[in-house]
C-alpha cells in the first residue's frame, strides 16, 4: 500500500492537470485553461469523482478538484488525462488556504461533497461549512455564486443549516433526501465512492444550496460556542 502511494505521488508530478501548492496562480486560471469559462471548485474532492463527472457534463465550464491527499487526486487526474478532459484540473493544497489561489470573484460555484463531518463538537471548526471557511469562500466567489453541500451526515447538514439561519443566509435549495425528490438533477445523482460506503448509515443523502452575502459579519466567539453547545445537545439526544 505504501509503495502504491509513493508511485501515485510520483505520477501526479508529471500530470499537466495537477498543480501542487502552486505560486502566483490567482487570476491566472484563464491562462491555465486557455479560456474565460466560469470556474467551479470541488473542495476536499478525494478521488475527484464530482470533478470528473461534472467536467464531462459541462464542457462549457472549468472544474478544479481541491484536496491535500495526492494519492487520492491521482484517481481523478489520471481519468481526466485518459479521457482528454481539458476543462478539469486538480489543486493539491489545504482548503484553509484556498483564498490564496484565486482572485475575488474568480470562482463561480463551489461543491462540497461528502466531506469529513468532524462529528466531535470540539472539532467543529474543521467542518467545511464553519463560518471561518465561509469567509474564505466569500473572498473568491462571484456575487450570487452557489455553494452546494451534499452529505450523508445529519450532523453536518443541520449544523450548516443552523449556521445559515444564524447569519440570515437564505437557503436556495434544501432536501433531506435528494433521491426522494421527484426531479433530482443529474448533478446530484452522481454517486461517489464515499457515498457508496454509507459511513453515516443515515440511509439519506442531504443537500443544501446557498449563496453567501457580500459581507459575513463576525460572530462573537461566545455566541458561536453557545450555538455549538446547543447543537451538541441535539446530536446526543
Q: β-strands 206-211, 39-43: how paired?
A: unpaired
Contact 62, 37 (CB under 8 A): yes
| Rounded alpha-carbon distances, angstroms, from residue 104 to 26, 107, 223 | 9, 8, 29
Residue 151 reports pLDDT greater than 80: yes
Of 49, 54, 100, 40, nearest to 72 by C-alpha is 49
Query: Could you tell me which residues come within 8 angstroms of residue 35 by beta carbon, excluding any fewer than 6 positions away?
Result: 62
**pLDDT tens track for 47-64:** 999 999 999 999 999 999
Which residue's entry shows cell 484563464?
30
CATH of the domain at 89: 3.40.50.150
Domain that holds residue 97: 2-236
Q: Would you state the torsion angle of the CA atoms of residues 47, 48, 49, 52, taken in this order, to the nearest 10 degrees? A: -140
Q: β-strands 141-151, 206-211: how paired?
A: antiparallel
Region 81-88: mean pLDDT is 96
Active site residues: 116
- pTM tops 0.75: yes
**pLDDT tens track for 166-188:** 888 999 999 999 988 888 899 99
Of 107, 116, 59, 73, nearest to 211 by C-alpha is 107
Of 166, 156, 158, 146, nearest to 199 by C-alpha is 156
First to last CA, the chain: 40
CA distance 178 to 157: 13
Region 193-218: mean pLDDT is 80
Q: Which three cell numbers stand for residue 180?
A: 426522494
Q: How many domains does one find in the chain?
A: 1
The percentage of residues in the chain with a pLDDT greater than 70, rounded to a whole number, is 91
Amino acid at each position: 500500500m505504501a509503495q502504491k502511494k509513493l508511485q501515485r505521488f510520483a505520477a501526479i508530478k508529471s500530470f499537466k492537470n495537477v498543480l501542487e501548492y502552486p505560486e502566483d496562480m490567482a487570476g491566472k486560471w484563464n491562462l491555465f485553461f486557455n479560456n474565460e469559462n466560469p470556474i467551479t471548485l470541488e473542495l476536499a474532492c478525494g478521488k475527484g469523482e464530482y470533478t470528473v463527472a461534472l467536467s464531462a457534463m459541462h464542457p462549457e465550464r472549468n472544474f478544479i478538484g481541491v484536496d491535500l491527499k495526492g494519492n487520492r487526486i491521482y484517481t481523478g487526474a489520471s481519468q481526466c488525462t485518459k479521457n482528454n478532459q481539458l476543462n478539469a484540473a486538480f489543486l493539491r493544497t489545504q482548503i484553509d488556504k484556498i483564498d490564496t489561489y484565486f482572485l475575488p470573484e474568480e470562482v463561480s460555484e463551489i461543491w462540497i461533497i461528502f466531506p469529513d463531518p468532524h462529528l466531535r463538537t470540539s472539532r467543529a471548526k474543521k467542518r467545511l461549512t464553519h463560518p471561518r471557511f465561509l469567509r474564505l469562500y466569500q473572498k473568491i466567489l462571484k456575487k450570487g455564486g452557489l455553494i452546494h453541500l451534499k452529505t450523508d451526515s445529519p450532523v453536518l447538514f443541520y449544523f450548516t443549516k443552523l449556521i445559515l439561519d444564524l447569519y440570515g443566509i437564505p437557503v436556495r435549495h434544501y432536501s433531506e433526501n435528494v433521491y426522494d425528490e421527484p426531479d433530482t438533477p443529474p448533478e446530484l445523482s452522481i454517486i461517489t465512492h464515499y457515498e457508496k460506503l454509507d459511513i453515516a448509515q443515515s440511509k439519506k443523502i442531504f443537500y443544501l444550496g446557498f449563496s453567501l452575502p457580500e459581507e459575513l459579519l463576525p460572530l462573537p466567539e461566545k455566541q458561536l460556542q453557545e450555538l455549538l453547545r446547543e447543537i451538541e445537545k441535539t446530536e446526543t439526544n
